[in-house]
Amino acid sequence: MPTHSQDFASVVIPAHNEEKNIPLLYKKLSKVMQSNFSKYELIFVLDGSTDSSKSLLKKLQNKDSHIITIYAERQLGKSKALQLGFEKAAGSILATIDCDMQNDPNDIPKLTQMLDENCDLTCGWRNNRKDEFEKLFFSRIYNTLTRLVTGIQLPDFNCGLKVYKAKVAKAVHLDDGMHRFVPALAKAKGFSIAETKITHHQRAFGKSNYGYKRLFEGFCDLIKVKIYTMRIESGAKHLKIKK
């Protein structure tokens, strides 16, 4: 019997040229969702993919009505891909998971359970990451800077596995690069945040695009998100005083 039978769950999966990972993720994700939710949808957002992902998903969609596909003709970036998925999602809760198979769908029910305990957003924590040294090194720098600037003491801001109450996903508008700072955006809007350790696997296919350029872009986005959240918080305080 589904453990979250009262919930309609939407899973948003951004993907760029992940033809080898899509069938593996679909098989594992479908099994988890069928076992834990009586109603669910899998929203694949193909972000300018140039491989066979589109035709592959069409075949899967013909066999499984749970699949929804969104196609971006050009690569928009992960933030906008997620935003497209959020806008399409109809579930009372939303999960996000990367298509690279490094996050484990089996962790979704655990993150969902935490929402049942008066939490609005649950973030995965890859405490035992299976990434190459360069990616780990830059990620540590990024997370340290983000904690210092935002004041939010999360160990892993940019984990792709998160579970939201629908109201959170609809409230945080993700512009370029903002997917890295979802916890900060959510907190600024008054939502409660939690994190929990999750399983992390090595990437089986494809490669990660990470390095000096991404770190610099992330730092620029961090400044932008700090200004943005300060404006939100300032506006909220003004409304409280006015009230």
Alpha helices in the chain (DSSP H): 22-36, 53-63, 78-88, 108-115, 133-150, 166-171, 182-188, 212-242
- As a whole number of angstroms, the distance between CA 28 and CA 206 comes to 19
pTM of the full predicted structure?
0.86
Question: Would you state the CATH architecture of domain 8-242?
Answer: Alpha-Beta Complex (3.90)
Each residue's pLDDT, cut to its tens digit, for the chain (243 residues) gives: 456 556 899 999 999 999 999 999 999 999 999 999 999 999 999 999 999 999 999 999 999 999 999 999 999 999 999 999 999 999 999 999 999 999 999 999 999 999 977 799 999 999 888 877 777 787 888 888 888 888 888 999 989 999 999 999 999 989 888 898 999 999 989 999 999 999 999 887 766 544 445 656 666 777 777 777 777 666 544 334 333
pLDDT tens column, 145-161: 888 888 888 999 989 99
